[in-house]
A and B are shown apart, each in its own frame.
Chain A
Amino acid sequence: MAFIQPIVFAIVTIAAFAFVFKKGKEIYRNINLGQKEDLTDQPDKRLKNMLLIALGQKKMFRITLPAIMHLFIYLAFLVTQIELLEIFIDGFTGQHRLLFHLFSETLDSGFLTGIYNFTISFIEVLSILALIATFVFLARRNLLKVPRFVKSEMNGWPKLDANIILIAEIWLVACIFMMNGADVAREIQINGSSPYGFLISGNIVGPALSGLNIDLLKVMERFGWWGHILGVLGFIVYLPYSKHLHIMLAFPNTYFSRLKPRGEIFNMPAITKEIKAMMDPNADPYAAPAEGAEAVAPPKFGAKDVQDLSWKNLLDAYSCTECGRCTAACPANQTGKLLSPRKIMMDTRDRLTEVGKNIDLHGPDFIDNKQLLGDFISVEELRACTTCQACVQECPINIDPLDIIVQLRRALIMEDSNSPEEWNLMFSNIENNAAPWQFSQQDREKWVSDLK
């Protein structure tokens, strides 16, 4: 029977990674459905952003308690990767705690097993902290109902998604302690004491379990081991469907975030070209394209669907973990308007996933007569934005919902001529009176003569 376990392990692991690789390629393809934008300049600044904001969690600390709790889970996640290494070694070899046994047989056994025990103990402590954080998070979402977690866009799948992840975390931690504790308890039963120096399992969980039947302990140890690794693999397979993708994408997302002042909204070069031609007295308005030049389709002004957005907007959408700090800071949302910057990101991702599915099922030219503007994000939402950039400021991983809002607004105005009457008046005033109000430009310095 012993040989079956490594085979099962290998099959499950390879299947999981193959699946994730396929999903990863799909996500990569979907992101590249967006418009090209070069975001590779100033690599040193970009690296610094990534290290500070993604790895260093700098922006999380704008709210202290969740930042600390999140840090516990984050550190536990990072450090547990070492333990995962052991699980893979044991899994493929069919051994149990192979590293520990190898270490004990070396000349320097005290030193190496010391490192082993320290590492496991360190993971155990972080796991307990992560467990505490998980319960705090569950409570914040389900009992305290922190307002940003119970907004309408969180109903249904997003809420369940968040809870699934938290419960999976409890599962992973419980399995680790079951495995470590059962190992210690077995050693205590067989040898009277345990060779493992695990801080929590060695002193608390192991001794507590030591009265159990030895066969049951063996089953518990296996259950813990398999439970943990299947949990991990399940988590990996689940990631591409979940908001939890941020654990991967936070890194590229901060690296590629735009290095511009927050207040700057990009100018559209296509329009500059048109206006320069209008202002140029020598331009020929009837000019035909040069002989042999390829006919270029006129550009779309603004964005109506995900393919019209920049690839960075789409990466933003996949990176969003729906924490809602943007929405909590949004003045429109705070005063009861429909707009929620988080929903803008969720809609963009949902639409992009749908477009990707359509491509997989019906090929790249399939048109489903749906689009982001209107079918997902309504005009009323877009109109409520004050472009105050609070959402951009608050995002812990530099997602920019405002950039999407502005591009959709552009399409509304410039493609659909869909504008409130007051705005049309404002536009024509700027064109004709050089001010957004109906005042003659000739009166613009009238205030000077009224000066006292």
Chain B
Amino acid sequence: MELKVPTMAELAAEGRTPEVLFWVGCAGSIDQRAIKITSAFVKILNHLKTDFAILGKEEACTGDPAKRAGNEFVFQMAALQNIEILNAYQVRKIVTTCPHCFNILKNEYPNLGGAYEVMHHTQFLQEMINEGKLVVQGGGAFKGKKITFHDSCYLGRANEVYEAPRAILEALDADLVEMKAAKSRGLCCGAGGAQMFKEEEHGTQRVNQKRAEQAIETGAEIVAAGCPFCMTMLSDGTTEKAPGKVKVFDIVELLVQGQGL
């Protein structure tokens, strides 16, 4: 199946506004590992025949790392420019595979003039499953396989989305095992607050090492994530702590693998 990924500009030229804007995010556009998550989600969107588009070259960083580092200027410059573009395209609904983009678009853009319905891809997928549009066959590759889910801070604590990603794992018949710090108690991967973009402060351990230990303790073969930054952190951590034993995948990648899409 040839995958279609139209841009907002292309659709606008045809006089169309899609139902959904897929906000790819910087990591999803640039990072080699995260592009696989983007591709998996695009496969699902094509499979569902969702009326969607991306911004493509018109998409820019939401400003999240700058904001959390303390640079409100750079954040608001980015945000106000993004809002101009989003509003020009009359965007109503945004789905994103990045919890940082999700949080900032949902919570911090509205009072700058950018109010949209914003969903994380796991919420979108859960909705599609619940509405019967996405049929997930259990008993596939992941039946009974031990999988643990790492709550990303900006999906979980920040916006209290705990169930959507787990519901998808359960639909895949996986044996969901929780880490000792899960859901609202979930331990950060270490990337948030712009830590992704600098060295950690001096300590006894790196945060991702600690989280990787917790993931490995569950005995799960697969660590599921819902964030491209957690993905990087957990991949590094588990590779260091248990090389070759644990694999990290995004929820949507597992869905695509499990359903043979």
A interface residues with partner B (beta carbon < 8 Å) = 62, 260-265, 267-268, 271-272, 274-276, 279, 301-302, 329, 331-332, 334-339, 380, 383-390, 392-393, 406, 408-414, 419-420, 422-423, 425-427, 430-431, 434-437, 439, 441-448, 450-452
Contacts and interface: CB of A to CB of B under 8 A. Distances in A.
Nearest to B32: A447
Given A263-B158, A435-B30, A445-B29, A414 B198 contact: no
Contacts of B42: 451
Given A332-B207, A387-B68, A430-B74, 6 more contacts: A388-B188, A413-B71, A422-B199, A426-B65, A445-B29, A451-B3
B57 interface: yes
B65 A384 contact: no
Contacts of B54: 445, 448
Contacts of B196: 436
A431 B9 CA distance: 22
Contacts of B67: 265
B194 A423 contact: yes
A267 B76 contact: yes
A339 B203 CA distance: 10
Interface string B49-81: 000001011011101011111111110111011
Contacts of B74: 427, 430-431
Contacts of B63: 430
A434 B61 contact: yes
B71 to A, nearest CB: 5
A261 B158 contact: yes
Contact of A431 (B77, B103, B199, B211): B77
The 7 closest A-B pairs by CB, nearest first: A263-B158, A336-B204, A409-B70, A434-B60, A387-B193, A336-B203, A388-B188
B202 A337 contact: yes
Interface centre among B71, B185, B191, B198 (most CB of A within 10 A): B71
Contacts of B187: 331, 334, 390
B189 to A, nearest CB: 8
A372 to B, nearest CB: 15
B20 interface: no
A390 B193 CA distance: 13
Given A420-B198, A423-B197, A275 B77 contact: yes
B252 to A, nearest CB: 15
B35 interface: yes
B256 interface: no
B201 A332 contact: yes
B159 interface: yes
A271 B157 contact: no
B30 A439 contact: yes
A267 B108 CA distance: 7
A263 B193 contact: no
B226 interface: no
A442 B103 CA distance: 25
Contacts of A392: 157
Nearest to B3: A451
Nearest to B63: A430
B57 A384 contact: no
B112 A272 contact: yes
Nearest to B54: A445
A436 B197 contact: yes
A436 to B, nearest CB: 5
Given A261-B107, A426-B66, A445-B54, A435 B188 contact: no
Contacts of B90: none
